[in-house]
Homo-oligomer: A and B are copies of this chain.
Amino acid sequence: MGATNKFPMPNLRIFCDSQFNAAALRLLEDGITPHELLVPQRRGDSVLSVAPSDSAIFQADIAFGQPSVETVLKAGRLRWLQITSAGFTRYDTPEFRAAAAARGLIVTNSSSVYAEACAEHVFAFMLAQARQLPLALKTRCAGGSAPWIELRNASGCLKGQQVVILGYGTIAARLVEMLAPFHMKITAMRRHPRGDEGVSTVTPEDLAGALSTADHVINILPDNPASARFVSKERLGQMKRGAIFYNIGRGTTVDQEALAESLQAGRLAAAWLDVTDPEPLPEDHPLWIAPHCFITPHTAGGHQNESGTLVRHFLDNLQRFVDGSPLCDRII
Contact = CB atoms under 8 A, between A and B. Distances in A.
A279 B136 CA distance: 14
Interface stretch (A152-160, A203-211, A253-261, A317-325): A152-160
A117 B159 CA distance: 9
Interface in A245-299: 279-280, 294-299
Interface stretch (A4-12, A54-62, A142-150, A225-233): A142-150
B299 A132 contact: yes
A116 B161 CA distance: 13
A135 to B, nearest CB: 9
Interface string A178-194: 10111000000000000
B49 A131 contact: no
Contact of A181 (B128, B152, B180): B180
A180 B279 CA distance: 35
Contact of A120 (B130, B296, B299, B302): B130
Interface of A: 45-46, 48-49, 116-117, 120-121, 123-125, 127-128, 130-134, 136-137, 139-144, 148-149, 151-159, 177-178, 180-182, 279-280, 294-306
12 contacts: A46-B144, A120-B158, A125-B133, A131-B299, A133-B133, A137-B296, A140-B280, A142-B297, A151-B297, A152-B299, A156-B303, A178-B182
